[in-house]
Amino acid sequence: MRLHHARLLRSNGLSAPDTFYIAAGDEPDRDARGLVLSPGWMDLHAHLRDPGAPQKETLETGARSAAAGGFTHVVAMANTDPPTDSAGRLTELRRRSEALPIKVDFVGALTKGLTGDSLTDARALKSAGAVALSDDGRHALDAGLLEVGLWRAGGAGLPVLIHPQLERLGTEPAAEVEAIREAIEALRRTADAHLHLQHVSTQGSIGLIAAAKGAGLRLTAEVTPHHLALTAAELRISGPLAKVNPPLRTAADAIALREALIDGIVDVIATDHAPHEDAVKHDEETAAYGLHGFETALATVLTLGLPWEVVHRACVAGPRRILGQELLDEWVLIDPDQEWLVEPESFYSRGHNTPLKGRRMRGRVVMTVVGGKVVHGAEVAVA
């Protein structure tokens, strides 16, 4: 298949229009005028709810949803039921992932049962195929155990991904800032460790991250599309659908996060895809945290007006660099100008929980190609 007049997304921006050849079975040549051809996006932070909650998502529905969102590679968190805290569980997930249309990798839990009481076997999880360790969804371990966990993970060649939020302080900005401060101090005392901060949400965290990087610490950080684009005011509009953890913050926080992303203080964009069934997102007081991330991420990111080279770094190159992954034969064709209505019932995911329901957005995935196979594609004009 040849794409005529596509604009290729590179690390230094978009190339001039040209013709690109993609090995994609017997797919016909396509007229790609006005479209952007990007290497496949990678999501460093997703919840596929499998095993344990098939009413929310399965590996299969999550992978199809990710492909529709332009993600050719996603990393699934360990807070499943039961948690992915043993080599045997991780091996089984990897076996099941072989039939999926996109690449799905898995993190192993940092502590047994995600309780923060005792560490898992980092080397055994690495041997079983874990790409990182994380208790995401919890931050129950203390600074001392985190330090040991960083040391063991570093010895196994795995980064540690943390949900930086001291549980004793709730969900206020101070809970994030203090958790990051503690984690950075643990990192200073740990040679060869790599600490990654998940879903940074407040401007108070940015200075700590910048200083740690300036000191040469091996620290990386991510931000979600919703923390970049939405604020706490969204709760008045969308109610429980906008209830996430960490919470949506102020406009000043969102601006600071966007600036930090552009400056490279924050490394990547990750969705924190957290699908839920409708029944648990009705009442604001008791609603589950999280929103659907895969199929609205691209349009949300494009609304930010980021330079294309930043988009490439944050969504293509950065996540793979953090995990030491290679970019293989993975492509996504984007129509940056296509307007569409967010209709969650049409999502490939089982989770329809998005505060963007009913809104018109601009920017959509036309086609996703993995390993020479079109895994998601809408019809476009034949050349």
Residues noted as catalytic: 272
Query: Which residues contact residue 154 at a Cβ distance below 8 angstroms, ignoring those fewer than 6 apart?
Result: 190, 191, 192, 193, 194
C-alpha span between 73 and 103 (Å, rounded): 5
Burial zone of 51 (CB within 10 Å; 0-12 exposed, 13-18 middle, 19+ buried): middle
Nearest to 149 by CA among 105, 104, 196: 196
**Could you say which DSSP state residue 382 is in?**
B
C-alpha span between 60 and 245 (Å, rounded): 25
Specify whether the CB–CB gap between 133 and 120 falls below 8 A: yes
**CA terminus-to-terminus distance, the chain:** 10
Supply angle C-alpha 304, 306, 312, rounded to 5: 125
Sign, CA torsion 232/362/307/214: positive
Tokens of 283: 């009442």
Residues 254-289, buried b or exposed e (16+ Cβ, 10 A)? bebbbebbbeebbbbbbbbbbbbbeebbeeeeebbb
H or E element that contains 220: strand 219-223
Specify whether the CB–CB gap between 311 and 13 falls below 8 A: no
Tokens of 104: 């799905």
Question: Following CA atoms 195, 193, 219, 59 in sequence, which dihedral angle do they give, to the nearest 10 degrees?
Answer: -40
